[in-house]
Structure 1
Amino acid sequence: MKLEDEIKQKSFKSPYHRMMVNIMFTGNFLQKRLLCMMREFNISPQQHNVLSILRGQHPDPCSLGDIQERMLDRMSNATRLVDKLLEKDLVARCQCPNNRRKIEITITEAGLALLKQIEAKIPPFEELFPAISSEEASALGQLLDKSRE
């Protein structure tokens, strides 16, 4: 459905204004779908993002700064997110043996198992975007990359 119909707005100041609103609207749309999927597993999309980052580093640890730098939502409080994941035994936190001021975080076996469960429930990306071809997805990704230059 066209953006204008979705938000009941007839026109925009410019094509760039429409593009910006469309990106934000679509991002919220995707976030809402992801939130619905994550709710079943009792974690937030931001917690899922932290677990995915840690799995990418596994078995090596990650610092809080590294996690914050790699998060999709960089405004998230990485410390609070890690604390919540610690409570659920999905991550472990320990002091770096070489630098006592540095805290290292790793994903636990329970965290790895949870990510596998989540991925089994999430449909393949192609199914999430049936109206977009592989070539269009690639072009859109390139345009979004270019928009951040």
Structure 2
Amino acid sequence: MKKTKGEELPIRRQLGIAMVETYNIVYERSQDFFAVYGLTSQQYNALSILHDAGEPLSTSDILKRMMEKNAGVSRLVDRLIIKELVEKNVNTLDKRLIDVNLTERGKDLYNKVTTELSGVDDVYKGLTDKEVEVLLNLLDRMKQ
């Protein structure tokens, strides 16, 4: 039980703190995993979105599909361009739009990381499959 200035924190506040601490640990470990490939989790997410779409997408379409919503998708795409993982082209139907597409190098890296993605799940290795199911159910209930 966490305490502050001699008094015990309410249990639901302890839960909130524990969830933030756990998120930070999981996030940091996932960033470490993707850093091995020269990526961040957000960059991998963008590559995954483009791969799964099977066609070029605008930055606004990428943002709509991202797990972590942030307004910095244009900068994220620009970083992926520098790494030669994606390219931008003017949309042939609407010249005002810019399409983002995976390059061959981007496809290759996406496939390589994806085949080794189970390594990112190592952060949960202290839990049994049954405990993971229980935790997922509890988190689902919290979201309702």
1:70 aligned to which of 65, 90, 99: 65
In 2, Cα distance between equivalents of 1:38 and 1:56: 19
In 1, Cα distance between equivalents of 2:45 and 2:141: 23
Letter in 2 for 1:93: K
1:80 aligned to which of 75, 98, 114: 75
- In the alignment, structure 1 residue 52 sits paired with structure 2 residue 48: yes
**Structure 2 unaligned blocks of 5 or more:** none
Does the 8 Å CA contact 2:30/2:120 hold for their aligned counterparts? no
**Sequence identity of aligned pairs in percent?**
26
SS at match of 1:92: strand
Alpha-carbon shift at residue 105 of structure 1 (Å) = 1.3
TM-score after normalising by structure 2: 0.81
Letter in 2 for 1:94: N
Corresponding residue for residue 24 of structure 2: 28
Alpha-carbon shift at residue 120 of structure 1 (Å) = 4.0
Q: 1:126 to 1:104 in 2, by over 3 A?
A: closer
Alpha-carbon shift at residue 126 of structure 1 (Å) = 6.1
- In the alignment, structure 1 residue 112 sits paired with structure 2 residue 107: yes
Alignment RMSD (CA, Å): 2.3
Worse-superposed segment, 123-132 or 26-35 = 123-132
In 1, Cα distance between equivalents of 2:41 and 2:138: 24
**Structure 1 unaligned blocks of 5 or more:** none
Does the 8 Å CA contact 1:51/1:115 hold for their aligned counterparts? yes
Letter in 1 for 2:114: E
Question: Aligned pairs, how many?
Answer: 141
TM-score after normalising by structure 1: 0.79
